[in-house]
Amino acid sequence: MIPIYLEPGATRIALIGDGACILRRLRWLQEAGAEPDVWSVAPIDALVEAAGKFLTRRLPARAELACYHVIWIADLAREPAEELANTARRARVLVNVEDVVDLCAFHTPAVVRRGKLTLAAGTGGASPAVAKAAREHLAGAFSESWSEAVEDIAKARAALRREGANAETLIKDARQRLSAHGLARQGLV
């Protein structure tokens, strides 16, 4: 696995499907700041409401699939999901078909967000339950106070960079600020 974080404003994202799985993925992406296009033949009412103006009530055509960087597919029968996934892959688009590991070019991690701090756990599709357990552990280990600390450190880092600080100075300052926020623990900072 190669973990990466995608910038939502610089990534064209599509969701394809009709039901609760696509709705869950839509809300997850919206929470991360993304506004994905949603393609659905028979969307559930909650998906219609959540997708709003980004909903198209049909499946995308081949050329439309090629416009995206990343596509999630869920709530479709295997055959249409596989056809869409294969078409997207031929266009060099990253595809995830929910719970169909052999059709996935990437896997979605379980995520904990603390403001700008994003922590992710994944198993490469081997066991979403294990990733969920790891996420729950991370959520307990990283309190909401990390959000404020990261904001503080980011502002200080920007000021120090303007002054020409080197990497060692930035690291030292970040660690001191984590300590000041009460977030320094043995081995962490």
- Asked whether residue 171 carries a pLDDT value surpassing 60, the answer given is yes
What is the pLDDT confidence band of residue 3, given thresholds at 50, 70 and 90?
confident
Quickly state the pLDDT bin for 125 (edges 50, 70, 90).
confident
What's the confidence (pLDDT) of residue 124?
87
pLDDT single digits (tens) 85-101: 999 999 999 999 998 99
pLDDT band at 132 (very low <50, low <70, confident <90, very high): very high
Cβ atoms 38, 15 nearer than 8 A: yes
* pLDDT for the residue numbered 186: 43
The pLDDT, as a whole number, for residue 187 is 44
Q: Residue 149: inside a domain, yes or no? A: yes
How many other CB atoms are there within 10 angstroms of residue 165's CB atom?
A: 16
Kindly state whether residues 22 and 96 are assigned to the same domain: yes
Average pLDDT of the segment spanning 116-121: 93
Asked whether 77 and 93 are in contact (CB, 8 A), the reply is no
What is the domain extent for residue 151?
Answer: 145-180
Q: In the listed set 58, 79, 108, which residue is the last one of a domain according to the structure?
A: 108
Last residue of a domain, one of 47, 81, 108: 108
Instruction: Give strand pairing partners of 93.
Output: none
**Residues 103 and 14 reside in one and the same domain:** yes
Q: For residue 170, which of 182, 158, 180 has the smallest C-alpha distance?
A: 158
Tell whether 188 is covered by a domain: no
Task: Tell me how far apart the alpha carbons of residues 146 and 183 are, in angstroms, rounded to a whole number.
Answer: 8
Q: How many CB atoms lie within 10 A of CB 115?
A: 14
Same domain, 14 and 89: yes
Span 125-131, average pLDDT: 91
State the pLDDT confidence band at 74, using cuts at 50, 70 and 90: very high
